[in-house]
């Protein structure tokens, strides 16, 4: 069976193609075309479009095409469900969903930059998702490195959760230390993950995120991290040393579109509009 999607496939398109080939249609042949030509070519060539807006097999709200394929074809393999979070986190700029999402985004971004042939890119991508699936299936519990700064953050958070609610409202002394730890992390790790944190603390992620908001500007964990990323982006913009594309990547956004949308939500201006309000740098 033939399947078709937009050319220059990235995370969701390649992940969906991998899922189709490995679990839905083992004889699948994949075609790619410019976005405006996909539907016409699908009709002409008798191919099924996927990850194309306006078709059934596409992304819905915060979910990816990969997620919809899992649902439509009733694929209940826990490993497929596990890597869905990684794929969604990378594709939707929600690196808080899974700590591996940032790595997948970085790999996909680098591959797209270096491989211009769609079929070649697909073949390399299939190997990446084979590896990701094997990791989820067999090797996920293994840990080969440890982030001691994250351990300290977990210890402080555990102290926080052990306090009575009335004590939390008194702004415990370690709250300043905790904010300092998070700020240190934002300089080196833009993808701290509330889900991983909750596993170590044995606390429900939703409960942890809700408690977090009591002291952190009324924001949930992911919202606060995005706020810090925008603050870092503002500082980089003021330096006027980098392009906006570079700043988007330096602050952990999957592309300039995501960066622009979040930046506008926080500042009321687009990055380029904000840049125009700054005085020119002296030569």
**Dihedral, 10, 13, 17, 19 alpha carbons, nearest 10:** 100
pLDDT surpassing 70 at residue 210: no
254/250 Cα distance (integer angstroms) = 10
pLDDT surpassing 70 at residue 140: no
Residues 26-35, mean pLDDT to the nearest whole number:
96
Q: Which residue has the higher pLDDT, 76 or 254?
A: 76
237 closest CA partner among 283, 190, 277: 277
Q: What is the pLDDT of residue 48?
A: 97
pLDDT surpassing 80 at residue 81: yes
The residues near 156 (Cβ < 8 Å, ≥ 6 apart) are 174, 177, 178, 181
User: pLDDT confidence of 24, banded at 50, 70, 90?
Assistant: very high
Q: 43 is written with which tokens?
A: 């009709």
Q: 148 is written with which tokens?
A: 């001691």
User: pLDDT confidence of 6, banded at 50, 70, 90?
Assistant: very high
User: pLDDT confidence of 68, banded at 50, 70, 90?
Assistant: very high
Residues 85-91, mean pLDDT to the nearest whole number:
93
User: pLDDT confidence of 107, banded at 50, 70, 90?
Assistant: very high
Domain 225-276 = CATH 3.30.1330.40: no
Domain boundaries of the chain, sorted by first residue: 2-139, 148-218, 225-276
Tell me the per-residue pLDDT of 160-200, one tens digit each, with 9 for 90 and over.
455 544 444 455 454 555 555 555 555 444 555 666 656 65
Q: What is the pLDDT of residue 199?
A: 62
pLDDT surpassing 60 at residue 204: yes
Residues 145-149, mean pLDDT to the nearest whole number:
46
Residues 47-71, mean pLDDT to the nearest whole number:
94
Residues 44-58, mean pLDDT to the nearest whole number:
95
Q: Which residue has the higher pLDDT, 170 or 70?
A: 70
200/182 Cα distance (integer angstroms) = 17
Q: What is the pLDDT of residue 190?
A: 52
Q: What is the pLDDT of residue 195?
A: 67
Pick from 37-51, 88-102, 221-235: least confident: 221-235
211/49 Cα distance (integer angstroms) = 43
pLDDT > 90 fraction of the chain, expressed in percent and rounded: 45
- CA neighbours within 13 Å on the CB side: how many for 2? 12
Tell me the per-residue pLDDT of 222-265, one tens digit each, with 9 for 90 and over.
777 788 888 888 988 998 888 888 888 778 776 778 888 889 98
278/49 Cα distance (integer angstroms) = 45
Q: What is the pLDDT of residue 2?
A: 96
pLDDT surpassing 80 at residue 69: yes
Q: What is the pLDDT of residue 188?
A: 46
Q: 30 is written with which tokens?
A: 């994949």
- Which H or E run includes 137? none
- The contacts found for 29-33 with CB under 8 angstroms, 24 or more apart, are 29/1, 29/2, 29/3, 30/2, 30/3, 30/4, 30/5, 30/119, 30/122, 31/2, 31/3, 31/4, 31/5, 32/4, 32/5, 32/6, 32/7, 32/8, 32/118, 32/119, 33/4, 33/6, 33/7
**Torsion over CA: 112, 113, 119, 125 (sign):** negative
């Amino acid at each position: 069976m033939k399947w078709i999607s937009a050319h220059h496939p990235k995370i969701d398109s390649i992940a969906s193609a991998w899922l189709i080939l490995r679990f839905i249609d083992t004889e699948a042949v994949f075609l790619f075309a410019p976005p405006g030509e996909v539907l016409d070519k699908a009709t002409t060539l008798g191919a099924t479009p996927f990850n194309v807006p306006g078709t059934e097999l596409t992304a819905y709200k915060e979910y990816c095409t990969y997620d919809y394929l899992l649902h439509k074809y009733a694929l209940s393999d826990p490993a497929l469900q596990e890597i869905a979070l990684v794929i969604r986190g990378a594709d939707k700029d929600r690196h808080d969903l899974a700590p591996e999402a940032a790595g997948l985004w970085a790999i996909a971004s680098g591959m797209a930059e270096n491989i211009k042939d769609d079929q070649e890119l697909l073949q390399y991508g299939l190997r990446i998702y084979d590896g990701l699936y094997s990791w989820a299936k067999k090797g996920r519990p293994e840990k080969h490195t440890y982030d001691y700064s994250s351990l300290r953050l977990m210890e402080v958070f555990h102290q926080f959760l052990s306090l009575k609610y009335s004590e939390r409202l008194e702004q415990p002394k370690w709250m300043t230390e905790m904010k300092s730890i998070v700020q240190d992390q934002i300089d080196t790790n833009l993808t701290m993950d509330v889900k991983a944190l909750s596993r170590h603390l044995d606390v429900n992620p939703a409960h942890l995120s809700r408690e977090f908001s009591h002291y952190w500007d009324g924001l949930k964990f992911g919202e606060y991290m995005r706020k810090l990323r925008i603050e870092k982006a503002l500082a980089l913009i003021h330096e006027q040393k980098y392009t906006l594309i570079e700043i988007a990547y330096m602050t952990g956004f999957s592309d300039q579109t995501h960066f622009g949308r979040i930046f506008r939500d926080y500042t009321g201006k687009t990055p380029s509009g904000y840049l125009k309000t700054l005085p020119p740098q002296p030569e």
